[in-house]
Each structure stands twice: as structure tokens, then as C-alpha cells.
Chain A
Amino acid sequence: MEREHPTLSEAKTVISLRDLRVNYGETEILHGIQFDVKAGETVVILGGSGSGKSTLLRTLVGLEKPSSGEIWIYGQDIAAISEDELYEIRKKTGMSFQGSALFGSMTVGENVALPLREHTKLEDSTIEIMIRLKLEQVGLAGFEYHMPSQLSGGMKKRAAVARALAMDPEILFFDEPSAGLDPIIAAGIDQLILELKKAFGMTIIVVTHELASAFLIADRMVLIDKGNIVAIGTTEEMRASVQPRVRQFLDRVPEPDVEGELDYLQTLTQGYRRRG
């Protein structure tokens, strides 16, 4: 008999945040974030601009240091470990950046090969095969000798995903995967994320504000507002939520902010004065 795939509730926890707080200078951006991510799960972190969702992701991968709290990844608190230990964990994770962050001075193939050249002792011929494989996975077969500047926005995103996949990571982070892409290309990226999840059972964490894409790819969602978690739940739970802040975000209701309007008028008149 075929062994049954473990359901999510049985899967072990790979990422665990405990009362995570992050400061930029004096201001606290995240006020005690706390949730778990299980192996093989796709968690989408939703939130508006300035909600702190990007800061949360940057803290998760160790680019920002939390002011307090714990970030457990594979049983190690990455806020407390040494740089070398953090690098060891990072070899098991991959990240796709909002602006793709490909190295402009290298070809697409060299970009994908970089982590392999740095961290493995593989032969050049093996690396070449792996580059081709990874590029094929993201639908960019045959582009290894192109420079990143020759690619379109969507292709750059795919190349960045191929680079993130190079070390066969167990956890994949996406920062705004569909930002700046037209709806069709963005849907293609969503499809790619779904395929990765299905084919490799990767744990995937996505930060986005795109509702349609979030509902398509997520197993669970975390809605963040002003540095606090407003709601956590499956897509169904989120759809059914009656919490006003969740409804406002999901139904795309604009902020009823009188002060905001005054500010707006003020900036207009100030702009006028400056011009005059």
C-alpha cells in the first residue's frame, strides 16, 4: 500500500516566531509577531504598504536583527546564533527578491551557478547541467547565456527563482513575487509557485498584497497591519472572517481618514506655495 502523505497537522514545525519585535532606530516596526510554519506549508503574509510585512520577511532571513523575540528555524534561534551558523541555515533556504536582485555583471547561468560554485565542490560540467535543469524548472530553458538586462520583468523573476532553487532549498521565501508584473505574467509566477510546492513539497513563505494571488497559493494566511498580526487562518477561514480589519482588507475598503484628507490638502497648498 502506498504510504499516505503526512497531512499538515502532522508535519513538523520548521519555522517558529516567538514574540518578535523589530526596531528601526527608535520606532518599533513589529510589535510581538508570533506564528509557526509547518514543513511543506505555503504561508502568505498579507498586509498593506507600511504594515511591516517586508520587514518581517527580512527579519526571517536574517537581514534585519530583531530587537527582541526569537526566530526558530530548524531548531536554532537565528537571532542568537553566530554568522557561520546562520550561513549554514541559509544554505538550506532560498529567497526571491522583489526586484529579482540578479547580478547585473553575470549571465543568467552564472547567476544560478553562483551558490553552487560557492558552496559545493561540483565539477563545472555538473554545474552546467544543474543550471539547465533549474532554468527548465522555471520555464527559462536556453536563456543561460543572456544577461539579466536582456530579460523582461517576468523572466527576471523566474531567473531569480531558479537561482533561489540552485541549492535545492527546503524553505523558499518570496518577496512580492508579482510586484510590477502584468496580470498574465503574475499569474504565471503564481503557477510556478504552485508547481514548486507540488513537485518538491517545499515550505514556502510569500509576502504580498495581491489578494487574488494570495488566495490561490496559500495554505494559510497571516494578515499584518501596523506591525501586529490581525488574523491567521486558512483561506476559507479568512474568507469567512467577520473581523472588521480583515473584511476591510479583503473587500478593499479605503481608509476613512479625515485627518488624511487634511494632510492631503496641506501638501497640495504647500506644493502650490513652493511653486509660486
Chain B
Amino acid sequence: MAAENVMEVVSQLGAGVTDSLAYLGALATLGSRAAYYTFVGPFQGKPLRWHSAASQAMEVGVRALPILSLITFFIGLILALQSAYELSKLGAMTLVAKAVALSMSRELGPLITAIVVIGRSGSAFAAEIGTMRVSEEIDALEVMAINPVDFLVAPKFLAMIVMLPCLTIWANTMGILGGALFGVAQADFTLGRYIQASIESLYIRDILSGLIKSVMFGITITAVGCLEGLSTGGGAEQVGRSTTRAVVVSILLVVVVDLVFTGLFFFLGNR
């Protein structure tokens, strides 16, 4: 009996691993096809859908600014409070600016931006494409000889890889300003000196590593949201399921991608 149970566990584990690998494969396929239509297609007589990409960029990027500003401002403030707790014991309150600037631009700026975009846009991609799948609109595109990846996914892909780094820069700035509120109120900084201190503590590679991660996050979120939408089964409740899955899977994969790239930068930087 025990042996059978072990076999059961092993086979389920195997099936789980196979499914996950198949899912990652599907994501990679979709991502690379979207990249093809974005970067290669225009040179082969398939013009980019600028109009569609611009309206997606508006939706993904510009409309996310208010909520992203608010959240990252608070995160910056929280970071300042948390680091001041320890730094004040050392009498090194002037290091608050450095702590906030570094953790925002290396890690929290890209990550918080990605999570806000997942909530706003990753879910919307899955819902939009899922609804189109259920109402046969994806089939209609196919039958009209219009490739759904070219028509629907590529503009989103372009919008995301352009807008996520932009949003991340904005998030970094707002986080630093949030920290500055604490710095000015509690740590004898003037606003000018706080910002000066922040800028001085940042190397270009700190910002760049965050931006590279944010591009990878953008690709991940687009691929997951669109894949979940495209693989929606029949029925309205399936759209809800796809949307939920898009959010959950995106958050998981963004953290995994974050870990991989942070590790990569760590070992490359220490060599």
C-alpha cells in the first residue's frame, strides 16, 4: 500500500511538473510571437498598430499614474520610517535617504509598479481577450485571416515594454519624495538636500537593473494575461476564472523573474 501511495505522489508530482513546463512553454511561445510581430513584422510589410498600441499605452501607463503615485509615495515613507528605526540607534539618520533611494530603485519601484499593473492591466487583458474568446470574436479574427496575436497581443506587448520602465522611473521618484517627507520632518534634511543625498547615493547601475527587471516584468504580465485570455473555455464564469488566474500567476512569475534577475545582477556585480 505504502509503495502505491508513493507512486501516486510521484506521478502527481510528475504531472504537475509537466503541466507547469507546458505552461511556461506556451508563455514563451506567445511572448516570442508577440515580440516577432512587434520587432520583425514591421520590416516584412506588416505595419505596427501604432494607434492600438498608443491607446493601450494610455490605459496601461498614463491611467495608472495616480494610484501608482499614491502607493509608491507611501511605500517610500514607510521605508524611511522603517530604516530610521534602526539608523537612529546608530545616530546615522542621514543614511535614510540612501536606504530609501537604493531599495526603491533596485527593488521596490519595479516590483510595486509591476503589482499595480498586474491588478489594473494584466487582469484587464485576460478579461478582454477571454470575453472575445467566449463570444467567438477570436475565431472571427482567425476566419478573417487576421492573426489574433498580431492584432490583440502585439500592441499590448509594445505598450507594456515601453510603459513599465517609464512607470518604474516615476515610482522611484515618488518613493524618494515619500522618504523626503520623513527626512524633512524628522531628520533635519531640507528637501533640496534630501534629494541631493538620494541622487548621490545612486549609481546608474542601480537604476538600470531596476529598469531591466521592469521590462522583463512587462513581458511576463502581458504573456500571462493574454495567454489566460486566449485559453479561456466556454462560458462567462470562465472569464472570471481566467482573470483571477492571470493575477495570481502573474504575481508569482513576476516574483520568480525578480529573483532570477536580482541573483544574476548580484553575481555579475560581485565578480
Chain A positions near chain B (C-beta within 8 angstroms): 58, 61-63, 83, 87-88, 90-91, 93-95, 97-99, 101-104, 114-115, 118-119, 163, 167, 173
Contacts and interface: CB of A to CB of B under 8 A. Distances in A.
Contacts of A99: 135-136
B140 interface: yes
29 contacts: A58-B139, A61-B143, A63-B139, A63-B143, A83-B147, A87-B145, A88-B145, A90-B142, A91-B145, A94-B143, A95-B140, A95-B143, A97-B136, A97-B139, A97-B140, A99-B135, A99-B136, A101-B135, A101-B140, A102-B137, A103-B137, A103-B140, A104-B137, A114-B144, A114-B146, A115-B145, A115-B146, A118-B146, A173-B143
Interface in B139-164: 139-140, 142-147
Contacts of B143: 61-63, 90, 93-95, 173
A167 B143 CA distance: 12
Contacts of A91: 145
Contacts of B132: 103
Interface of B: 132, 135-137, 139-140, 142-147
B140 A90 contact: no
Please provide the 6 A-B residue pairs with the shortest distance between their CB atoms, ordered closest to farther: A101-B136, A87-B145, A101-B140, A90-B145, A95-B143, A97-B136
A61 to B, nearest CB: 5
B158 to A, nearest CB: 18
B142 A115 contact: no
B223 to A, nearest CB: 20
A63 B142 contact: yes
A114 B139 CA distance: 14
Nearest to A175: B136
Nearest to B146: A118
B139 A90 contact: no
A118 B139 contact: no
A165 to B, nearest CB: 12
Contacts of A119: 145
A91 B145 CA distance: 6
B148 to A, nearest CB: 12
A62 B140 CA distance: 12
Nearest to A103: B137
A101 B137 CA distance: 5
A163 B146 CA distance: 13
A186 to B, nearest CB: 19
A62 B147 CA distance: 13
Highest count of chain A CB atoms <10 Å: which of B132, B142, B143, B146: B143
A97 B147 CA distance: 18
A114 B143 CA distance: 12
Nearest to A166: B144
Given A62-B142, A101-B137, 18 more contacts: A61-B143, A63-B139, A87-B145, A88-B145, A90-B144, A94-B143, A95-B140, A97-B139, A98-B136, A101-B139, A114-B146, A115-B145, A115-B146, A118-B146, A119-B145, A163-B140, A163-B144, A167-B144
B137 A118 contact: no
A75 B145 CA distance: 18
A68 B256 CA distance: 41
Contacts of A167: 144
Contacts of A88: 145
Contacts of B135: 99, 101, 104
Contacts of A173: 143
A103 B152 CA distance: 12
A93 B144 CA distance: 8
Contacts of B144: 90, 114-115, 118, 163, 167
Contacts of B137: 101-104
A83 B142 CA distance: 10
Contacts of A94: 143
A87 B140 CA distance: 13
B49 to A, nearest CB: 10
A97 B141 CA distance: 11
A115 B146 CA distance: 8
A118 B140 CA distance: 14
A163 B147 CA distance: 17
A109 B146 CA distance: 17
Nearest to B139: A63
A114 B142 CA distance: 12
A231 B135 CA distance: 32
A167 B140 CA distance: 14
A102 B144 CA distance: 12
Nearest to B138: A101
Contacts of B146: 114-115, 118
Contacts of A118: 144-146
A180 B139 CA distance: 20
Contacts of A97: 136, 139-140
Nearest to B128: A105
